[in-house]
């Protein structure tokens, strides 16, 4: 069997992740290298993500069709599978393979390279379906690797929220808005918490006095919206709760929700499962 490798830069080309994940069976690649027209065999797609770069064996398929598109690129497609989940490639043997592939520049045959057998074994060992916990673990890895401004990051966060429902933290306005703006980085509570990772922020319905809310808005430097117009009773986004010093809960990397959603379950003063 002829074996080939193609590199996919996630920062430049987007994230090749389906929803639900690892279910696509009709797969493909594109390249300007015309020798792909003679390809007959199995293609491995290696995806590079993050800084420093991490490499994952993402998917594999048998070449069934090659055509030239209007942009002058050649598209090869066929039946295969996305690894469930994709497997990180690392170590001396992989680095030697990457070097032999000229750092994955262009579509190329790798049949004669010993590491291609490792790729084949990994692909066979991780055929779908994936275990739920493995899928959640991998999607969490993606969240940690994607830059905050990556266009696919919110998609991955939404996917993670469906795969592993997050706990929601109830916070009154305008504190919730200040957290979403990255102005408020410490949430003060009566005691410590063991919760870590990404959590939902629920803007509670409770109100402070008008004078207190006005003072908070000035303190946070929020002047482009009235406190009365801030959303309440809905999930406004997510945040990474990464540390805790007694009653000081440290948060970072706020991500606004693409759609404000009311929780299905009864909100609680601190933590609750909204869905």
Confidence at residue 275, expressed as pLDDT on a 0 to 100 scale = 80
Residues 62 and 25 sit within 8 Å (Cβ to Cβ): no
CA distance 30 to 222: 47
How many helices (H) and strands (E) are present in the chain, helices listed first? Answer: 7, 13
Domain boundaries 165-272, CATH class = mainly beta
Q: Tell me the pairing of strands 3-9 and 42-49.
A: parallel
Residues near 210 by beta carbon (within 8 Å), at least 6 away in sequence? none
Identify which has the larger pLDDT, 82 or 198: 82
Cα 49-148-5 angle, rounded to 5 deg: 15
Domain limits, CATH 2.30.130.30, in the chain: 165-272
Run of H or E including 121: helix 115-125
Please answer whether residues 130 and 85 qualify as being in contact, where contact means their C-beta atoms are separated by less than 8 angstroms.
yes
Radius of gyration of the chain (CA): 23
Quote the mean pLDDT of the chain: 94
Strand, helix or coil for residue 25: coil
User: Is residue 246 left, alpha or beta, with left meaning phi > 0 and alpha meaning psi from -120 to 50?
Assistant: left
- Tell me what pLDDT residue 159 has: 83
**pLDDT band at 203, cuts 50/70/90?**
very high
> Is the Cβ–Cβ distance between 126 and 54 less than 8 Å?
no
Place of tokens 């390249």: 31
Q: How far apart are CA 169 and CA 167, in angstroms?
A: 7
User: What are the tens digits of pLDDT across the range 158-172?
Assistant: 788 778 767 899 999
Segment 120-157, tens digit of pLDDT = 999 999 999 988 889 989 998 998 999 888 999 888 88
Residue 18 has a pLDDT of: 86
Q: Helix (H, G, I), strand (E, B), or coil: what is residue 47?
A: strand
Nearest to 94 by CA among 64, 63, 115: 115
CA-based nearest residue to 238, from 169, 141, 148: 169
Instruction: Return the pLDDT at 234.
Output: 97
Give the pLDDT of residue 165: 66
**Positive or negative torsion for Cα 10, 16, 21, 22:** negative
- 272 burial via Cβ count (<10 Å: 0-12, 13-18, 19+): middle
Would you place residue 200 in the very low, low, confident or very high pLDDT band (cuts 50, 70, 90)?
very high
The answer to whether the CB of 200 falls within 8 A of the CB of 212 is no
């Amino acid at each position: 069997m002829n074996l080939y490798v193609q590199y996919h830069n996630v920062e430049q080309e987007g994230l090749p992740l389906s929803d639900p994940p690892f279910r696509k069976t009709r797969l493909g690649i594109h390249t300007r290298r015309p020798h792909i027209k003679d390809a007959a065999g199995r293609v491995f797609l290696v995806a590079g993500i993050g800084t420093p770069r991490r490499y994952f064996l993402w998917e594999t398929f048998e070449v069934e069709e090659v055509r030239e598109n209007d942009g002058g690129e050649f598209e090869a497609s066929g039946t295969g599978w996305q690894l469930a989940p994709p497997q990180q490639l690392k170590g001396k043997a992989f680095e030697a393979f990457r070097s032999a592939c000229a750092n994955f520049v262009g579509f190329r045959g790798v049949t004669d390279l010993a590491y291609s057998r490792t790729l084949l074994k990994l692909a066979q060992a991780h055929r779908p379906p994936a275990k739920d916990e493995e899928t959640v673990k991998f999607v969490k890895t993606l969240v940690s690797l994607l830059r905050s401004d990556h266009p696919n990051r919110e998609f991955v966060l939404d996917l993670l929220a469906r795969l592993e429902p997050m706990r929601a933290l109830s916070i009154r306005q305008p504190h919730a808005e200040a957290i979403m703006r990255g102005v408020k980085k410490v949430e003060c509570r009566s005691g410590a918490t063991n919760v870590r990772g990404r959590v939902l922020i629920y803007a509670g319905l409770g109100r402070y006095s008008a004078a207190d809310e006005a003072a908070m808005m000035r303190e946070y430097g929020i002047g482009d919206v009235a406190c009365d117009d801030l959303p309440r009773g809905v999930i406004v986004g997510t945040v990474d709760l990464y540390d805790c010093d007694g009653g000081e809960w440290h948060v970072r990397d706020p991500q606004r929700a693409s759609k404000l959603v009311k929780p299905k379950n009864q909100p609680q003063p601190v933590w609750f499962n909204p869905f």
